[in-house]
Amino acid sequence: MFHPQGPTFWELAQQCLSSTERGYDLLAPKFDVTPFRTPDFVIEGLARCLGPPQSVDDGLDLCCGTGAAIPLLQTLCRRRVVGIDFSQGMLDVARSRLTTSVSATPVELLHANVLDMTFDREFDLAITVGSLGHILKRDEPRFVQRIHAALRPGGRFAFVTSTMPPWWSRRYLLSRAFNGAMHIRNLLVRPPFVMFYLTFLLPDVARLLESHGFKVAVHDDVYPVPFQELRVVVATRK
Ligand SMILES: C[S@@+](CC[C@H](N)C(=O)[O-])C[C@H]1O[C@@H](n2cnc3c(N)ncnc32)[C@H](O)[C@@H]1O
């Protein structure tokens, strides 16, 4: 549908009618040729806000999928990189792509739900890319609280988001239509597939982070036209 080696329309429909975890398990072998994989330029923009190579000890990639952002963390971190995802299929693909030369920072891939993380002050940096739409509004405080607990004081949580687009914009209308379709799908089919657009937007997400003990910096000059609406948020645990 998106690419000759990508999923067909029927494969995507089957994935969407599965649970989120199972849907990603099915999609995993073809995920990297879909538009759902975070493009490299987004990850490179995030990297520009996080400091020089080898300037961080331990890094965490939340919802790492097939590992799009793992090379960024391996460059930034000198001691350990952990990727966490609840789809074993996605983790298997990530594992097959790991750079494992002797000089590369070691990577652990963990099969778990990010909402159930129990890390306690183990990381200096946590990032997530392309995944915030999988966290329900009601789970956002728990998600932020788990990340706060996982970071050491002074540790950073970084991600890319935007403000709410105007209601008449194509992006707003398409996102609302998609979200409406997902709500109907989840009313009719169990288990749900959790994926919604227009989540974790500024300025609300900054308030959420601040109320959980983060100091928030927003970088609004990272991406060129036509992606200038993207913002890099770096939230530092106080
Ligand atoms: C769109 S993919 C993005 C993957 C990768 N970060 C990227 O940018 O290419 C979303 C990933 O989030 C994972 N995911 C969604 N909700 C999750 C949760 N609650 N806990 C762990 N992983 C989750 C899915 O399994 C999937 O691999």
Write out pLDDT tens, residues 120-158: 999 999 999 999 999 999 999 999 999 999 999 999 999
CATH superfamily of 37-160+201-237: Vaccinia Virus protein VP39 (3.40.50.150)
114 CB less than 6 Å from ligand 1?
yes
Does the CB atom of residue 113 touch ligand 1 within 6 A? yes
Q: Give the CA distances from residue 107 to residues 59, 83, 174, in Å, rounded to whole numbers and listed in that order.
A: 9, 7, 37
| pLDDT average, residue stretch 164-169 | 97
- Establish whether residue 37 lines the binding site of ligand 1, counting it when its CB lies within 6 angstroms of any ligand atom: yes
What residue's CA is closest to ligand 1, atom 10? 131
Q: Does any ligand 1 atom lie closer than 6 A to the CB of residue 24?
A: yes
In short, whether 134's Cβ falls inside 6 Å of ligand 1 is yes
Is it the case that residue 1 has pLDDT exceeding 80? no
Distance from residue 51's CA to the centre of ligand 1 (Å): 25
Q: What is the mean pLDDT of residues 204-221?
A: 98
The helix/strand/coil state of 154 is strand
**pLDDT interval class at 103 (50, 70, 90):** confident
Confirm if 31 and 24 have CB atoms less than 8 A apart: yes
Confidence of residue 89 (pLDDT cuts 50, 70, 90): very high
**Ligand 1 centroid, distance to 212 Cα (angstroms):** 23
**139 Cα: distance to centroid of ligand 1 (angstroms):** 15
Closest C-alpha to ligand 1, atom 15: 134
What are the residues whose beta carbons fall under 8 Å from the beta carbon of 24, sequence distance 6 or more? 15, 31, 65, 85, 87, 89, 90
User: Ligand 1 pocket, 63 CB below 6 A?
Assistant: yes
pLDDT of residue 28: 97
Q: What is the pLDDT of residue 13?
A: 87
Cβ of 71 less than 6 Å from ligand 1: no
86-94: average pLDDT: 98
Q: Is the CB of 36 under 6 A from ligand 1?
A: yes
Distance CA 39, CA 68 (A): 8
CB 61 within 8 A of CB 127: yes
Distance CA 133, CA 115 (A): 14
Q: CA 90, CA 129: separation in Å to the nearest integer?
A: 14
| Ligand 1 contact, 115 CB (< 6 A) | yes
Give the residues across from 107 on adjacent strands: 81
Distance CA 18, CA 15 (A): 5
CA of 176 to the centre of ligand 1 (A): 21
**Inter-residue contact 71 to 7 (CB < 8 Å):** no
Taking residues 20-45, report their average pLDDT: 96
The model carries a pTM of: 0.96
Closest CA to 206 of 163, 153, 142, 166: 163
- Mean pLDDT within 14-40: 95
Rounded CA separation 42/37 (Å): 11
